[in-house]
A and B are shown apart, each in its own frame.
Chain A
Amino acid sequence: MSGIHVSTTINGDPVEFVCQPGETLLDVLRDRLRLTGSKDGCGTGDCGACSVTVDGRLVCSCLVLGAEAEGREVTTIEGLADGENLHPLQSKFIEHAALQCGICTPGFLVAAKALLDRNSNPTEEEIRFALAGNLCRCTGYDKIVRAVSAAATEVRKQEGRKQRRSF
């Protein structure tokens, strides 16, 4: 049993760890790095609770090996807020009561962020299909869809402000 040495970037910080060949990225994040915001709901890529981005691409971290993080940039729920400023998705989730138990919330937020990064003006249908890989058992998705839609509006406003400032 010999470990693999991995150098990677997680939420902007350089991170090094040693993991076994069979360990998933989720195992590493949770058990080695104690970044427990990513949740293990199924271990088979069906629930989306472990969603993270690797080099900007949305993945289930339970389906990625820890060793595959070598040289990549990993972003987890812990990296979504900018310091003490919540991302609009986070504040809209709270404002719209889009979480009940909250176990699926990190995965939804990471997946919704990936959606807004490529489409900041999604329709209801686009939101529903973009989030279809994330299971929620509490909310019936109603308030989640509304929160994502409201966050998209907020993100567009912020982008507008940034653009105006750069002129």
Chain B
Amino acid sequence: MAHDTSFTNQEFKVIGTRPPRPDGVDKVTGRAAYGADTFAPGQLVGLILRSPHAHAQIRKIDTSRAEKLKGVKAVITSDDLPDLTNGDRAMLDILENCMARGRALYDGHAVAAVAAIDAETARKALKLIKVDYKRLPHVTDVDEAVKPDAPIVQPYVRTAGVQPPPTKASNISQISEFGHGDVEAGFAQADFIVEESYKTEQTHQGYIEPHACLASVGPDGQGELWVTTQGHFTFRNQCAALLGMDVAKLKVTASEIGGGFGGKTHVWMEPVALALSRKANRPVKVVMSRDEVFRATGPTSSTSVDVKIGAKKNGRITAATATLRYQTGAFPGIWGMLGAMTAYACYDLKNVKTVGYNVLVNRPKVAAYRAPSAPMAAFAVESTIDLLAAKVGMEPVDFRIKNAAKKGTKASYGPTYGPIGIGPTLEAVKNHPHMRARLGKNQGRGMACGFWFNFGGQTCTDLNIGVDGTVNLTVGTVDVGGSRASLSLIAAEELGIPYERIKCNVADTSSLGHNDTTEGSRGTFSSGMATIFAARDAIEVLRERAAQTWEIDVKDVKWEGGRAVPKGVRHSNLGTLTLEELAAASPNTGGPIAGHNEVVADGAGVSFASHICDVEVDPETGATKVLRYTVVQDAGKAIHPDYVEGQLQGGAAQGIGWALNEEYIYGKDGRLQNPGFLDYRIPVCSDLPFIDTEILEIPNPNHPYGVRGVGETSIVPPLAAVGNAVSNAANVRLTHVPMSPPRILKAIKNRRSNATTG
């Protein structure tokens, strides 16, 4: 499928090469400092007491014995975190999630915290805190929570998005609808209609580094926070607001981050650490255990989705609907809405309607997880697409190509697409050798596609040129997967100097203007954009300095190959001035040379991917082995292809884990039964094959280099790609993720008994 690359047939010198990352040596020698890796003089150990109940009234917390224990320097409850939110319910929700206020809303909800001289003393102190709970009825399942007689999780919540506004509390915090056309008329035109319902279980981002921070607040109201986070500026703003501090007086430094995937976009225990430090008047380090990470930080939604799609005999879809119920944990979220927006984004549909429900349950507050909400919607839609393709009698890939969105398609969630990559990724899949590889007994192949919006956001970048002509690039987006390498490449490309002469740093909040959280695949997109503009800003200064040296008009100076070059025959005797020469002369030509840029990086390019998966299902055990996996994704422009491939492979692996193994298992008592890596099993090295990647580059017209952002889309197709493969291998449709051995065995057994009785 042809796509328009005319606007950006750019020749690059270093963009697209694969140099070693600047933080590589630190990370292979153990020198890199993550959230738990710094120490302050006199630091205390902070620990948090958590609710053992899914839902309980907190009648009383007696901290007196803990306070008396030798070595305990502070004990806090919600009394030490007064409500300063001034009626901002969303902020109060954040505060209440950090520390329960009269009610514990889920197993693992923080109820008190201590700071002590060492871990052993802190653990003893936690045991001395007596909490008088009155257990309340709870609900953890999304379909149970929407029933009219379900226990109410948040009495203040009224369903938004319905008219007239309800007066009664509900667990449905919001209903949102998207789409266009007339779906009833569309279904009336269909020759085939498929309707199916799906469920997906709750998964965790599973970053290997638990949340950790070192907080220090003095009696002068100034504070510092070292923390593993995707957004230190956002953390600063939220912590300052919740604790009543001045934003400028709280310096937040982002440590190296040991994985986030969306889970480190929210504050969890950081305000608690600051409050402990303020009360103890000592630095306090809080490091979560893995158990706490699972029970009390934000996993993704568990969902229940109904899909109905109709098509004509010629394979054209006439109408599509979906009802998506996403639980958001114990606090309102936007996750069902995002599911409803993304569900049909890959397709060109005349008649489409999706309805998303955000549903409260007694589980931890849901956070973003890599293309949040899209994988579950894609699982339901892409599974149904396969069922419908079979009815129509078309190959799944051909059926998708026939209905794929393209430039000019009105997306199901509203906007009209510019140049997009869904068609090209599908064509690449169709032509991939993987599609023609032979399959053996009990083996099956599946494919699926996926979409993510991507995001730009507020960005601020500095570029400072040293006296020797080396360059400090200072950015405010956290490096979650190699962005310092890609941003250094961008600065080198613009300035025309070698990559090795750039040093990229992530600044703390006191050293740079506000940067939005690194989410929505925005790191390289938005900081890349700001880097380009900051470099061009610096080049203006360099040209001026050269013009001044040569005593000619700045208009007669161009920047080429890392040097100022005078234009025209008239100036041909002037020679050139390199960046090094201009930098060395800078003390006498006007002082430091720098470039700067603040931007709201609008115009993030939508991203599409199509995946192919081969599996073998053991019919005796129900165990699935992934045999081969291929990712095709549109990157817009791959700045550092190694780290683009890494994103595609990592997202696929997380999606495979979600599809086959990973799930939060809650007991009838509402408590999480598997808060550890032994029982919550993420894929290990021996579970996976090599993951092949094919990067397409359909440039994003809104970015100077065509970058789209690549971090998230790769997790969207796997649930359905694996699901379609397993369904083909086991000859029965799987509708419940994860497709763990017991679920697959049950499906096979049901198929066999239906075959005998039928």
- Number of contacting residues on B, CB 8 A? 58
B437 is an interface residue with CB less than 8 A from chain A: no
Please name the residue on chain A nearest to B693 by beta carbon: A142
Q: Among B29, B36, B642, which residue has its beta carbon within 8 angstroms of that of A90?
A: B29
**Which B648-682 residues have C-beta < 8 A from chain A?**
649-650, 652-654, 676-678, 682
Chain A 131-148 interface 0/1 with B at a Cβ cutoff of 8 Å (1 = within)? 111111111111111100
Chain B 25-42 interface 0/1 with A at a Cβ cutoff of 8 Å (1 = within)? 101111111101101000
The answer on a CB contact under 8 Å between B29 and A37 is yes
The answer on a CB contact under 8 Å between A132 and B208 is no
Q: Complex Cα distance A127/B209, Å?
A: 24
Chain A 98-134 interface 0/1 with B at a Cβ cutoff of 8 Å (1 = within)? 0111111110010000000000000001011101111
The answer on a CB contact under 8 Å between B21 and A97 is yes
Which A residues touch B209, using CB under 8 A?
Answer: 39, 41, 101, 103
Please name the residue on chain B nearest to A110 by beta carbon: B30
Which residue, A34, A86, A91, A143, has most C-beta atoms of chain B within 10 A?
A: A143
A74 is an interface residue with CB less than 8 A from chain B: no
Which A residues touch B208, using CB under 8 A?
Answer: 39, 41, 47, 49, 101, 103-104, 135-137
Label chain A's interface by main secondary structure: loop
The answer on a CB contact under 8 Å between B481 and A76 is no
A44 is an interface residue with CB less than 8 A from chain B: yes
B444 is an interface residue with CB less than 8 A from chain A: no
B690 is an interface residue with CB less than 8 A from chain A: yes
B82 is an interface residue with CB less than 8 A from chain A: no
The answer on a CB contact under 8 Å between A102 and B29 is no
Q: Complex Cα distance A41/B206, Å?
A: 10
B375 is an interface residue with CB less than 8 A from chain A: no
Q: Among B23, B482, B691, which residue has its beta carbon within 8 angstroms of that of A140?
A: B691
Q: Among A42, A77, A141, A144, which residue has its beta carbon within 8 angstroms of that of B677?
A: A42
**Which B627-645 residues have C-beta < 8 A from chain A?**
642-643, 645
B122 is an interface residue with CB less than 8 A from chain A: no
B290 is an interface residue with CB less than 8 A from chain A: yes
Which A residues touch B207, using CB under 8 A?
Answer: 101, 103, 137
B615 is an interface residue with CB less than 8 A from chain A: no
Q: Complex Cα distance A76/B219, Å?
A: 40
**Which B1-56 residues have C-beta < 8 A from chain A?**
18, 20-21, 23-25, 27-34, 36-37, 39
Q: Complex Cα distance A155/B693, Å?
A: 28
Q: Complex Cα distance A141/B654, Å?
A: 11
Chain B 277-296 interface 0/1 with A at a Cβ cutoff of 8 Å (1 = within)? 00000000001011000000
Chain B 194-207 interface 0/1 with A at a Cβ cutoff of 8 Å (1 = within)? 00000000000111
Q: Complex Cα distance A80/B31, Å?
A: 12
Chain A 15-48 interface 0/1 with B at a Cβ cutoff of 8 Å (1 = within)? 0000010100001001000111111111110110
B421 is an interface residue with CB less than 8 A from chain A: no
Q: Give min CB distance, A109 to chain B, whole Å.
A: 6
Instruction: Choose, from B107-115, B257-265, B359-367, B446-454, the stretch at the interface.
Output: B257-265
**Which B208-223 residues have C-beta < 8 A from chain A?**
208-210
B270 is an interface residue with CB less than 8 A from chain A: no
The answer on a CB contact under 8 Å between A99 and B27 is yes
The answer on a CB contact under 8 Å between B21 and A94 is yes
Q: Complex Cα distance A55/B655, Å?
A: 39
B684 is an interface residue with CB less than 8 A from chain A: yes
The answer on a CB contact under 8 Å between A39 and B34 is yes
Q: Give min CB distance, B406 to chain A, whole Å.
A: 30
Which B residues touch A4, using CB under 8 A?
Answer: none
The answer on a CB contact under 8 Å between B29 and A36 is no
Which B residues touch A145, using CB under 8 A?
Answer: 685, 690
Knowing that A137-B650, A142-B649, A145-B685 touch, tell me 7 more A-B residue pairs with CB under 8 angstroms: A47-B290, A47-B677, A86-B28, A102-B32, A127-B685, A138-B259, A146-B690
